[in-house]
């Protein structure tokens, strides 16, 4: 989530034909990020700015789908330990219910959940340090599924 090599693996492991050819991260409050996801039907690009970085428990950033450059969502990722496992809770605040409904209808939420599930085997086999320096993701622990919150719960 905070290192290009990890993001490329996370979002590039969805299925055959998926990759992340562009992944730029300036991890600091006010720093920018940009990912380009390549998939069998084309590409989707996202960018934003980091608002809050509190390792190892919290990351807040804006997210803009470049196809809709004036629509800014705010994402809060919170990491907590529960029974020796890491829970990732992602809350996305959309600018309107209409935008939220468009995102849900697009399949993006399903794709995010699939990417999180696909990341599990990689985390179990990750050969790096048990806690990634500067990265709030703790490796080598079983992963608890992503829970997404919306304005209506």
The tens-digit pLDDT sequence of the chain (153 residues) is 678 887 887 777 777 888 899 999 999 999 999 999 998 889 999 999 999 999 888 999 999 999 999 999 999 999 888 887 778 888 999 999 999 888 888 877 777 777 777 666 666 665 554 443 344 433 333 333 333 444 444
Per-residue model confidence (pLDDT) at position 136: 40
What pLDDT does 125 receive?
66
* CB environment 40-50: b (16+ within 10 A), e (fewer): eeeebebbbbb
- CA of 47: how far to CAs of 24, 37, 124, 138, in Å? 9, 11, 29, 24
pLDDT score for 75: 93
Residue ranges of domains in the chain, CATH in brackets: 4-149 (3.30.530.20)
Query: 38 near 19, Cβ under 8 Å?
Result: yes
């Amino acid at each position: 989530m905070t290192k290009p090599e990890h993001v490329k693996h996370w979002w590039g492991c969805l299925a055959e034909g998926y990759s992340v050819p562009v992944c730029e991260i300036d991890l600091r409050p006010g720093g920018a990020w940009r990912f380009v996801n390549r998939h069998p039907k084309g590409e989707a690009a996202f960018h934003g700015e980091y608002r809050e970085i509190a390792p190892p428990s919290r990351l807040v950033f804006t997210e803009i789908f470049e196809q809709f450059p004036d629509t800014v969502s705010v994402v809060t990722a919170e990491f907590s330990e529960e029974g020796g496992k890491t829970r990732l809770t992602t809350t996305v605040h959309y600018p309107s219910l209409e935008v939220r409904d468009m995102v849900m209808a697009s399949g993006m939420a399903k794709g995010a959940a699939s990417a999180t599930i696909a990341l599990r085997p990689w985390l179990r086999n990750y050969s790096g340090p048990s806690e990634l320096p500067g990265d709030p993701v703790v490796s080598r622990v079983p992963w608890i599924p992503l829970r997404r919150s919306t304005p209506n719960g």
